[in-house]
Structure 1
C-alpha cells in the first residue's frame, strides 16, 4: 500500500495538467443558491456511516419541502446555502427563503432542526454551492468566517459547517478559520467538505492541502463525483464519470492520503436531473462502496487492499431524491452500516 501511495503521488504530480485538460466545460457542481493514516488528534463523531443530503433553501423546480419531511435515512443534513455577510468581509449569514418555501416559517425551521437532532441526527450549514462566493484569503476574512459561522451555530443550533466553495479557496486561511471555529465550538463540531474532482488531482491543489491541514478536525470529505468529465484515478489511469470505476479510483486518492477511511465519502447526484453529468443508478453507488470497502464488485479498478468501512455517501440532494420517492436514500442506506 505504501508503494502504491508513492506511485500515485508521483503520477498525480506529473499528470495534473493532463487532468485539467480533460475537465468538461460544465465542471461546476450541482445547483445554486462532503500510527497508519491516523491523525493523532482526529475527532470521531460516530461509529455509523453518514448518509449526507443537501436540503434546498430555494425552489429550483425539484421539490419544496420542510425539514420535517426528510427521511430518517439521512443522518447528516446540509442546509444549502449560507451567503456572504453584508458587513463582515469573509463572514457568512443565513436567512430562510420563506417566500420560496410554500410558507415554511423560520420558527418551524428551527423547531425541525431541533427535532432532527433529538433523533440523533445532525444538521450543518453549507457554504458555497455553484453560485456562492465567500472569500477567506487573509487573516481578517478568516476571523470573520469563524466568528459568523459560530454565531449561526449558536443561533440556529447547527452542528457544524460544510465547505462547498467551488470558485477557489485558500488552504492556509480556511484552515486557520476552521481551527478557530473548532476552538470555539469544541470537539463535537462537524466539518465537512464537498470539493470537485479536479480539486484532488494534485497534492498541490488547495482543497488537497486543506484536507491535510484540517485532518485533526475533519469529519468527512464528500467529493462531488459528477459534473466532472474524465479524471485520473489513483493508479494514474483515466476514468469516465458515471461509473463505479470512476468513483472508486478517485476516492482512492483521498484514501491514500493521511486521512482515515471514515473521513472519506462518496458524493453522487440523487437523480439524473440533479446534475449535468455523472449520474449513475444508486446500485452503482453501492458497487463503488463495496469495491472500496471489501474489494467485491469491482470493475477495471480494484484497490490493492480493501479499505474497510469508509465514511459514507452524500447526495445532491434530498429535494431531488424526493422526486424519485427517495430511491437513492433507500438503496444506499441499506448498504451503509
Structure 2
C-alpha cells in the first residue's frame, strides 16, 4: 500500500534417492541421497551415496543395498563396511551400533570400474524412495489428509511401505488412536479449535511417523463481526487524497484500519501518534480528539485497528526480544487509543516465526477479542512457502482475515497454474484468491483487496461492480470470467479497499456499491 505520493525427498526417517548425477559439484551433506558418477577416466568412476536422518529421533542402524550391471566392478571404498555377493553390494555404516542424530547425514563412497549405474537400490529393505527410522520398521504413512467439521477432525492416509502391523495416531506426544485401517476421526472438539496429529506406521521392529498435520474445526467467526465485512484504510498522513477526521469515516465500513504505526528506535517496537502534517491540514487534530473519534466509531458498531508498516514501513521482528517489544508496544498503543486489534502490512519482508510469536503474545495479553488482519501484496500469497503465507497458516487459529492487495501486481498465475491472469479483472481476483482458499485458509479468513478508484494505486484499479462480480464468483459461482474456482466459498469474508480517503475523493463509489452487496452473500 502506498503511504506517500536433486529434488529433496523428506520424511520422518531416512531420506534417500538413487539417481545417476554428475559429481561436480559433489553432493553436500544434507542434500538428497544420490549416487553420482564422475567423468570417464579409463573406465573408472567414483560413487557416493548420502543418507540423512530427517526425523526427530536418533537412528541406531541402517544399511544400503544395490546391484550393479554385469561387467561393473567396485574398487576401494571408505566410510562404510562393504559386503558383496556377485554384483549385489551392501553398505553397513561403521557406526551401526551408534546413532545418527536428527538432521545429521552420512556419505558412503567407493570407486568403480565399468559403465553401469546402480540398480535396485534399497534402504533397510525398502526402496530408496521409501523411509525408515529403524532397520525393519515400515515406511511412514503417505499423503496424510485432514478434514474438519464444527466438532470433529478426521484423518486419512495412504498405506505405508513395508510390513505394517497397524497405525498409531498421536496428538502431540499423546497416543489418541490405534487402528489397522487408514483413517481416524476425533469428535467432541470445540468450534474453531486446532489440533495437531502425527500418524505412525508400526511393526515389531519399530514405528515411523509421517509429518504432523493440523486441523481446525469450523465456526471461527469473530463473535462481534458480521459474517461479511468491508474494511478500509484511513490515512494518518497527507497525500493527494481527501484528508478527513476519523469520525468522518462513512458508515458503510465495518473495520477501519488506521495507517500506520511505524518503527521506533527500539528493535521490534512500534510507535504511533497523529501525524503533525495531517493535524495541521485538518485545522488542528490532537491525539485526544483522535482517541475520542476511535470511541465514536466503536459506539457505531465499528472496529478500529492499528495497521503496522505500509509501503515505507521498516518494522523488523526477527528475534525473541524484538517479538516481545512488538507485542508490548502494540498493546500499549491499543490501550492508549482504544484500538480493537492490529493489521500486519509489512511490504519489505517479515520473519514468520517471530512475528507469529509476537502476535501470540499479544493475543495472550488482549484475549480472544483481539482482531488480527494481514494485508500482503499479491506476490506474498502465491505460495505457502512464502513468509506471509507461512505466517497466516502459522497463526490460523487466532487469525481474523487476510485481505490481500490484488493490485500493483502485473500478471500472475492463479490456483489452476495454467495461465497468467492480468490484474484489473474478475479472473485475476478470483484465480489468486483461490490460491489461499485451496491451500489452508478458511473462507472466513480470506477477503479481496482492491483500490478505491483512480489515484489509489498504480495498477489494478477496477470498477466496484467488478469487485461484486468477483465476490459472487467465489461465493456462488456466478458472474465469473473464464476462470471458475473448483468449488464455491459461501463464507468468503468480504472486501478491503485502499483507502477510505481515496474512496471519499472518488465520491464513495466503492463503499456504496460493495457494502450493500456483501449483505446479499450467503
Mark yes or no: TM-score above 0.5: yes
Instruction: Sort the Cα spacing of 1:82 and 1:194 in 2 relative to 1 into closer, same or farther, 3 A.
Output: same
State the partner residue of 1:123: 304
The 1-side partners of 2:485 and 2:335 are apart by 42
**1:15-56 Cα distance to aligned partner (Å, 9 max, x none):** xxxxxxxxxxxxxx33349x4488525753134311100000
The 1-side partners of 2:340 and 2:369 are apart by 8
- Equivalence map 1:113-262=2 (5 Å): 113-236=294-417, 237-262=419-444
Instruction: Sort the Cα spacing of 1:222 and 1:127 in 2 relative to 1 into closer, same or farther, 3 A.
Output: same
Q: Is the 8 A contact 1:90 1:141 kept in 2?
A: yes
Q: Is the 8 A contact 2:454 2:506 kept in 1?
A: no
2:456 pairs with 1:274: yes
Normalising by structure 2, report the TM-score.
0.57
Between structures 1 and 2, the one with greater helix share: 1
Q: Is the 8 A contact 1:37 1:258 kept in 2?
A: no
State the partner residue of 1:26: none
Of 75, 90, 97, the residue aligned with 2:275 is 97
Q: Is the 8 A contact 1:160 1:189 kept in 2?
A: yes
**1:235-258 Cα distance to aligned partner (Å, 9 max, x none):** 002111000110000000111122
- Residue 78 of structure 1 aligns to a residue whose secondary structure is strand
Q: Is the 8 A contact 1:30 1:275 kept in 2?
A: yes
The 2-side partners of 1:203 and 1:214 are apart by 13
The runs of 5 or more residues in structure 2 that have no matched partner are: 6-146, 151-191, 195-215
- Give the root-mean-square deviation of aligned CA atoms: 1.5
Q: Is the 8 A contact 2:227 2:491 kept in 1?
A: no
**1:281-332 Cα distance to aligned partner (Å, 9 max, x none):** 0000111010000000001111121111311100000000001221000000
**1:226-281 Cα distance to aligned partner (Å, 9 max, x none):** 00011110000211100011000000011112221111000000012110101010
Of 247, 264, 285, the residue aligned with 1:85 is 264
2:249 pairs with 1:70: yes
- Residue 221 of structure 2 aligns to a residue whose secondary structure is coil
- Note the C-alpha offset of 1:98: 3.8
Larger Cα-atom Rg: 2
Normalising by structure 1, report the TM-score.
0.88
2:508 pairs with 1:329: no
2:496 pairs with 1:318: no
2:213 pairs with 1:40: no
Of 465, 473, 477, the residue aligned with 1:295 is 477
What is the count of residue pairs matched by the alignment? 307
- Note the C-alpha offset of 1:175: 0.5
Tell me which of the two structures has the higher relative contact order, counting C-alpha pairs closer than 8 angstroms and 6 or more residues apart. 1
State the partner residue of 1:10: none
- Residue 195 of structure 1 aligns to a residue whose secondary structure is coil
The 1-side partners of 2:2 and 2:494 are apart by 19
Q: Is the 8 A contact 1:133 1:167 kept in 2?
A: yes
- Note the C-alpha offset of 1:201: 1.4
Between structures 1 and 2, the one with greater strand share: 2
Q: Is the 8 A contact 1:37 1:257 kept in 2?
A: no
- Note the C-alpha offset of 1:334: 1.2
- Residue 335 of structure 1 aligns to a residue whose secondary structure is helix
The runs of 5 or more residues in structure 1 that have no matched partner are: 1-28
State the partner residue of 1:5: none
